[in-house]
């Protein structure tokens, strides 16, 4: 099909505001009489709070409010259930109750005339702690003898019965089919290894920030940096026992999120302080607070086992995953289980066991395909080792075992139309893969990855102005240029130039409910809502034209690029808009998943003396369904690779034995820079998603899944040593060389 707008590369509508510094980010909000808040945080990973004395802080001139966990209301069970967590935990995530559970856990918050004064007031608060033994190791935390972080937490067993005793295991997901033991007995070659991954951070540049104002009538307005304004409203409503209609959330421009800004941290505190002080309050995290007290990606222990015949046919797959979710119940291992062996899940014999495990670390949050890159690193490592042992080309082995439409997913459902085979074939055909890699200490790695992509709910509305321009209001937050893509879809549907559509992000009082921007859902679901809104506007245009011509509406046709047509008569969009208000509303819920597969190729050179890894060439291939704005899709793939390089080679939280974070800053927490990231070649494979009007698949997360595996495989082929822990630092590489002579 030929499109006029879809597939082109127009400039983004928010670009000028951002490059000129006029865009309003969270910390740019300034309100009359605004106070500044600071949070007192625990220096201990695990301790009982014996007492808190806030009297000295509250008495300081210029201090308007001090709050502790006692100021949080008892949360009724209905909102607690909406938030999906234990009632006690909901409160304690925001402000500690009787215990602190991680280094940086909020204990109290202060609002004062200046940030410095608020910090001084925090220092004046006296907290007496009784130190408890911190739980810092995943395997130790799983033991029956481990100290319990929450005495009333019972394992949520997927499809099973709740255990009789509480534990630190928040969730258990078992998946099994066939006879795994028989499958391995049938294999000619078996590869089995244990892998470990580190807790890492999303690394967004803008820290968390929230500003709250509480009116005399109790109406709450929150300005915040968030991935979901409606989710933020719902979380604050549940935590503070407020009706959602009493809360208006105004999303600011967002300086990066990658999943890390899908949960509230400061918003409830800002509301509590503003209500108590009677003045607006703004809180901004320091970088150390961001690292210590927001949601990182989980650390994990993964055991992977694969068996195959000599011709490369996989006979059995087995995985065991234990993910560290921090001090509060959350789930990351579910997507790890569903993504680990997804590219090869048609195998008859498969067993996967996943565990979410609590330790005295901050509660995790989403980070670009949460849980999947860890699992794929392990799976793709053993698949690559299998290929080497059998003497089969890595892509050929994957093609032989690749899932196709109708094959079984890991959970036993059937794959819909997918593009894994096409992505593998495209990778094999790239100039990169066809060019031999020359020279010593060099290696080429290949890996595949999968992400299911979420759908959720999105709402949009549009108004056609008298000049023919279109004001488009979106409920979903724009993280990566989605305003442009949505404007392109509306322009395509109406047959007007892209420049005539003016998209903006609405607040919770100006547009219908929309879920958080995450799970690679925005272009799929919000795009579909835009199609519906444009079609609704076309219907209203036809009704307006029918009134003008005094004819039945079913005799009027809307012709994109022309307007409404009746016989030989034409009324343009502008002419119709001049006659009366024209609007369109679109809501989409449950669009269905848009599963996406990616294949990465990485060439590296490893210095044998220092262990330093230089990435020589990198190609990312991905089935994107259809690229609405190809440049933004390419940017998504390139950004995912850059973050994969950090995960694979540099990034890790470092804690001491007492559970204190030692590197909560960008100096000691090593992110890749432009020196570390090579030019990234991209190949967009378009296997249209049949469940979407434009064939779109989510793209932001699938590209983050195979990167660590591809780099690990490249390093292995360059050094001859299989590294099983991330990150693969220069020190690790040198130690592996020493161990293996």
Domain boundaries, the chain: 15-22+455-589, 31-132+218-256+266-275, 300-453+593-739
Mean pLDDT of 684-713: 97
Contact indicator for 330, 362 with CB cutoff of 8 Å:
no
Mean pLDDT of 74-96: 61
The DSSP output letter for 498 is G
What's the pLDDT score for residue 581?
Answer: 87
For residue 472, give both structure tokens.
């488009």
Residue by residue, DSSP assigns 349-398 as -EEEEEEEEE-SSPPP---SSTTHHHHHHHHHHHHHHHHHHHT--HHHHH
Mean pLDDT of 179-188: 98
The tens digit of pLDDT for each residue in 1-29 reads 799 999 999 999 999 999 999 999 999 99
Confidence band, pLDDT 50/70/90 cuts, at residue 648? very high
Residue 687: count other Cβ atoms within 10 Å of its Cβ: 21
Contact indicator for 696, 596 with CB cutoff of 8 Å:
no
CA 55 to chain centre: 41
Q: DSSP 3-state assignment of 547?
A: helix
The tens digit of pLDDT for each residue in 481-493 reads 999 999 999 999 9
Whole-angstrom distance, CA of residue 469 vs CA of residue 562: 14
Sole residue written with tokens 């400061």? 266
Residue 174: count other Cβ atoms within 10 Å of its Cβ: 14
Residue 85 has pLDDT above 60, yes or no: no
Same fold, 15-22+455-589 and 31-132+218-256+266-275: no
Confidence band, pLDDT 50/70/90 cuts, at residue 90? low
Mean pLDDT of 595-607: 98
Contact indicator for 362, 289 with CB cutoff of 8 Å:
no
Contact indicator for 340, 378 with CB cutoff of 8 Å:
yes
Mean pLDDT of 241-248: 97
Element (H, E) at 400: helix 394-401
* Burial of 472 from C-beta contacts in 10 A (0-12 / 13-18 / 19+): buried
At the second CATH level, the architecture of 15-22+455-589 is 2-Layer Sandwich (3.30)
What's the pLDDT score for residue 81?
Answer: 39
Which residues make Cβ contacts (< 8 Å) with residue 401, sequence separation at least 6? 312, 313, 314, 343, 344, 346, 347
What's the pLDDT score for residue 91?
Answer: 83
Q: b vs e for 209-247, b when ≥16 Cβ sit within 10 Å of the residue's Cβ?
A: bbbbbbeeeeebbbbbbbbbbbbbbbbbbbbbebebebb
Task: Give percent above pLDDT 70 in the chain.
Answer: 98
Residue 289 has pLDDT above 50, yes or no: yes
Residue by residue, DSSP assigns 105-156 as -EEEEEEESSHHHHHHHHHH-EEEEEE------HHHHTSTTSPPS-TT---E
Distances (CA, A) of 21 to 14, 15, 203, 546: 11, 10, 22, 47
What's the pLDDT score for residue 89?
Answer: 64
Which residues make Cβ contacts (< 8 Å) with residue 23, sequence separation at least 6? 14, 17, 253
Contact indicator for 421, 568 with CB cutoff of 8 Å:
no
For residue 675, give both structure tokens.
């020196």
Residue 86 has pLDDT above 60, yes or no: no
Fold classification of 300-453+593-739 (topology level): Aldehyde Oxidoreductase; domain 4 (3.30.365)
The tens digit of pLDDT for each residue in 131-145 reads 999 999 999 999 999
Rg (CA), the chain: 27
What's the pLDDT score for residue 331?
Answer: 85
What's the pLDDT score for residue 587?
Answer: 98
Confidence band, pLDDT 50/70/90 cuts, at residue 580? confident
Residue 441: count other Cβ atoms within 10 Å of its Cβ: 13
Strands ordered across the beta sheet of 300-308: 156-157, 169-177, 350-358, 314-326, 300-308, 189-197
What is the pTM assigned to this prediction? 0.97
CA 293 to chain centre: 17
Element (H, E) at 19: helix 15-19
What's the pLDDT score for residue 80?
Answer: 39
Contact indicator for 512, 585 with CB cutoff of 8 Å:
yes
What's the pLDDT score for residue 437?
Answer: 97
For residue 707, give both structure tokens.
């990167």
Confidence band, pLDDT 50/70/90 cuts, at residue 740? confident
Whole-angstrom distance, CA of residue 464 vs CA of residue 581: 7
Residue 306 has pLDDT above 80, yes or no: yes
> What's the CATH number of domain 31-132+218-256+266-275, 3.40.50.720, 3.90.1170.50, 3.50.50.60, 3.30.1280.10?
3.90.1170.50
Task: Give percent above pLDDT 90 in the chain.
Answer: 94
Contact indicator for 348, 182 with CB cutoff of 8 Å:
no
Which residues make Cβ contacts (< 8 Å) with residue 48, sequence separation at least 6? 98, 99, 129, 130, 132
The DSSP output letter for 344 is G
Contact indicator for 282, 64 with CB cutoff of 8 Å:
no
Average pLDDT, the chain: 96
Angle, in degrees to the nearest 10, between helices 372-390 and 707-719: 40
Residue 76 has pLDDT above 70, yes or no: no
């Amino acid at each position: 099909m030929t499109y006029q707008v879809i597939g082109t590369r127009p400039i983004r509508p928010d670009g000028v505001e951002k490059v000129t510094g006029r865009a309003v980010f969270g910390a740019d909000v300034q309100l009359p009489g605004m106070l500044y808040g600071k949070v007192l945080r625990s220096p201990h990973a695990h301790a009982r709070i014996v007492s808190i004395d806030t009297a000295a802080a509250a008495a300081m001139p210029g201090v308007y409010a001090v709050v502790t966990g006692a100021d949080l209301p008892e949360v009724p069970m209905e909102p607690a259930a909406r938030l999906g967590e234990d009632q006690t935990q909901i409160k304690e995530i925001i402000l500690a109750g009787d215990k602190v559970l991680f280094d940086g856990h909020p204990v109290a918050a202060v609002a004062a005339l200046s940030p410095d004064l608020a910090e001084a007031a925090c220092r004046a608060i006296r907290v007496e702690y009784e130190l408890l033994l911190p739980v810092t190791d995943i395997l130790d935390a799983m033991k029956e003898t481990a100290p319990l972080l929450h005495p009333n937490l019972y394992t949520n067993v997927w499809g099973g019965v709740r255990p009789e005793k509480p534990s630190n295991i928040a969730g258990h997901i078992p998946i099994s089919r066939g006879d795994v033991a028989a499958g391995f007995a049938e294999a000619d070659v078996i590869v089995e290894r244990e892998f470990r991954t580190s807790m890492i951070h999303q690394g967004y540049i803008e820290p968390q920030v929230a500003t709250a104002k509480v009116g005399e009538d109790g109406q709450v307005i929150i300005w915040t940096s968030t991935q979901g304004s409606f989710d933020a409203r719902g979380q604050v409503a549940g935590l503070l026992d407020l009706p959602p209609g009493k809360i208006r959330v105004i999303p600011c421009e967002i300086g990066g999120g990658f999943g890390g800004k899908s949960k509230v941290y400061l918003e409830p505190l800002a509301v509590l302080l503003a209500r108590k002080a009677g003045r607006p309050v703004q809180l901004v995290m320091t970088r150390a607070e961001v690292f210590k007290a927001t949601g990182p990606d989980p650390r994990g222990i993964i055991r992977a086992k694969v068996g195959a015949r000599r011709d490369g046919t996989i006979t059995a797959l087995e995985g065991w995953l234990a993910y560290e979710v921090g001090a509060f119940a959350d789930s990351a291992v579910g997507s790890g289980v569903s993504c680990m062996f997804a590219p090869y899940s048609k195998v008859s014999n498969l067993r996967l066991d996943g565990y979410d495990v609590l330790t005295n670390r901050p509660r995790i949050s989403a980070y670009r395909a949460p849980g999947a890159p860890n699992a794929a690193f392990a799976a793709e490592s053993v698949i690559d080792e299998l290929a080497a042992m059998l003497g089969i080309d890595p892509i050929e082995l994957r093609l032989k075992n690749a899932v196709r439409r109708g094959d079984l997913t890991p959970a036993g459902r059937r794959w819909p139309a997918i593009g894994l085979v096409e992505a593998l074939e495209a990778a094999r055909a790239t100039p990169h893969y066809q060019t031999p890699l020359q020279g010593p200490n060099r290696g080429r790695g290949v890996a595949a990855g999968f992400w299911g992509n979420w759908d959720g709910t999105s709402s949009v509305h549009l108004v056609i102005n008298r000049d023919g321009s279109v004001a488009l209001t979106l409920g979903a937050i724009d993280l990566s240029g989605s305003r442009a893509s949505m404007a392109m879809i509306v322009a395509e549907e109406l047959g007007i130039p892209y420049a005539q559509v003016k998209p903006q992000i609405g607040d919770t009082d100006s547009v219908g409910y929309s879920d958080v921007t995450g799970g690679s859902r925005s272009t799929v679901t919000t795009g579909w809502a835009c199609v519906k809104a444009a079609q609704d506007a076309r219907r209203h245009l036809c009704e307006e034209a029918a009134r003008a011509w005094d004819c039945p509406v079913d005799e009027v046709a809307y012709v994109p690029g022309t307007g409404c047509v009746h016989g030989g008569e034409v009324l343009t969009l502008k002419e119709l808009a001049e006659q009366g208000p024209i609007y369109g509303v679109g809501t989409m819920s449950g669009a269905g998943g848009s599963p996406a597969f990616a294949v990465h190729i990485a060439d590296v050179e490893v210095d044998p003396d220092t262990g330093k890894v230089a990435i020589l060439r990198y190609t990312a291939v991905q089935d994107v369904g259809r690229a609405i704005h190809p440049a933004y899709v390419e940017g998504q793939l390139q950004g995912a690779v850059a973050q994969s390089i950090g995960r694979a080679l540099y990034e890790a939280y470092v804690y001491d034995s007492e559970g204190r974070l030692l590197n909560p800053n960008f100096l000691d927490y090593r992110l890749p820079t432009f020196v570390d990231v090579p030019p990234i070649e991209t190949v967009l494979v378009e296997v249209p998603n049949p469940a979407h009007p434009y064939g779109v698949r989510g793209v932001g997360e699938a590209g983050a899944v195979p990167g660590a595996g591809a780099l690990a495989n490249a390093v292995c082929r360059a050094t001859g040593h299989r590294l099983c822990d991330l990150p693969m630092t220069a020190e690790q590489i040198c130690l592996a060389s020493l161990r293996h002579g």
